[in-house]
Amino acid sequence: MIHELAPVAVFLFVLFLLLGSGVWIGLALLGVAFVGMELFTTRPAGDAMMTTIWRSASSWSLTALPLFIWMGEILYRTRLSEDMFKGLSPWMARLPGGLLHTNVVGCTVFAAVSGSSAATLTTVGKMSIPELLRRNYPEHMVIGTLAGAATLGLMIPPSLTLIVYGVTINESITKLFIAGILPGLVLASLFMAYIAIYARFSGNYRPTPEPRMSFAQKLANSRFLVPVLMLIALVIGSMYLGFATATEAAAFGVLGAMALALAQGSLSLRNLKESLMGATRTSAMIALILSGASFLSLSMGFTGLPRALAEWIASLGLTRFELLMALLVFYIVIGCFLDGISSVVLTIAVVEPMIRQAGIDIIWFGIFIVVVVEMAQITPPIGFNLFVLQGMTRHQMNYIAKAALPMFLIMVVMVFILIAFPELATWLPENMRQTPG
């Protein structure tokens, strides 16, 4: 037993040493894997690292990643947030909770063309925060709902986290995308239900009433939503109907985003260059993390660590529900210190044998893990959405974290809904048309 624990101790010691010293996560993973190869195998570490990095970086499925990131970067530089607010506010104003619903619906819409939680938060927040505060909506509700709803960018396709999960676990990215649609809409509905309940029973919820608009005026304002809804239909519809793979849909999305930006008059040469450089930086960061994770998976595989841990978990005799609860707590804890993508790639080599042995559907587990990773976006000390909101509002971190706490609890409820009704994540992928080629 001590002999089996030695690699674990070495891996963890080197990992925390490198992360604690401020080394980039991707380089830290490469360093841990290199040390593991040198200490526990006879294979040349340099040769193994070179081969593994090339194999992970040359994955065709991974080409969807920079394209979807670029699409989000282009849209971030358009007037999309202003147009969404104009188009959504007439319809949201009469709902219980009023315009606060624009945070949730706006994030849901933008998530369907972005794939990034941070981009969703920034794009919707830069318009909704000043508008809602000007109308006397409770600030903690404005911040909290925005923090929670922005995490939908990780679930509703195109999701960068699902791309990384699919590449890491060798599963169809298109099926994972489609699997995220219904759970994403259910989670958005739970957020809106919370807003309605709070507005009904809270004594300090007294926003400035919106002027009444006729049905014709509401329809006229809805024209601002048409371009982005067409873009969503192009990207998601082409995948679901089997016309395009995830990579081809991403290419359509980039062209559609450029057309939308051009129609709005916001596609300048400077904006195009900034969007391309932003996408390059984000893609390079994720590619480095994936390369490090692939090499670490190889290194751990040589030690037999994933198999040994899977066998140990199996020997505990946990039921499927107990295993999922253990993984829920595990990912919430690890999410307090790592971002979502890093959490997935760092742990999946160990977790995959466990879930396969327990008979858990791989597509369903991808959605489960994304919901839990979403929680990490709004948990201190490393919750990325909290940092973005802190920069936008200048509030203390504890204020923002407290405002986001109800959304965190709603996500916990969503986990149990997924467990109780797994068809939410599996029905659409099982009934989609097969993509050619």
Which pLDDT score is estimated for 420? 93
Tell the burial category of 146 from Cβ atoms under 10 Å away from its Cβ (0-12, 13-18, 19+).
Answer: buried
Whether the upstream peptide bond of residue 66 has omega within 30° of 0, thus cis, is no
What CA–CA distance (Å, rounded) separates 222 from 85? 10
Mean of pLDDT values over 286-296: 76
Contact 414, 151 (CB under 8 A): no
Written as six digits, the tokens of 340 are: 């979502």
Q: Is the pLDDT of residue 436 over 50?
A: no
Q: Is the pLDDT of residue 413 over 90?
A: yes
For 110-140, write each residue's pLDDT tens digit.
887 776 777 788 778 877 888 888 888 888 8
Who wins on pLDDT, 233 or 300?
A: 233
For 311-355, write each residue's pLDDT tens digit.
676 677 778 888 899 888 888 877 776 667 777 877 787 788 888
Written as six digits, the tokens of 174 are: 């298109």
Least confident range from 235-239, 312-316, 405-409, 410-414: namely: 312-316
What CA–CA distance (Å, rounded) separates 139 from 294? 43
Contact 60, 68 (CB under 8 A): no
What is the chain's mean pLDDT, rounded?
Answer: 81
What CA–CA distance (Å, rounded) separates 217 from 196? 25
What CA–CA distance (Å, rounded) separates 23 from 371? 28
First-to-final CA distance of the chain? 48
Which pLDDT score is estimated for 433? 62
Going by pLDDT thresholds of 50, 70 and 90, the confidence category of residue 292 is confident
Q: What CA–CA distances, in Å, run from 319 to 199, 315, 332?
A: 40, 11, 20
Mean of pLDDT values over 74-82: 76
What CA–CA distance (Å, rounded) separates 131 from 420? 38
Nearest Cα neighbor of 69 from 371, 281, 378, 374 is 281
Which pLDDT score is estimated for 25? 72
Going by pLDDT thresholds of 50, 70 and 90, the confidence category of residue 1 is very low
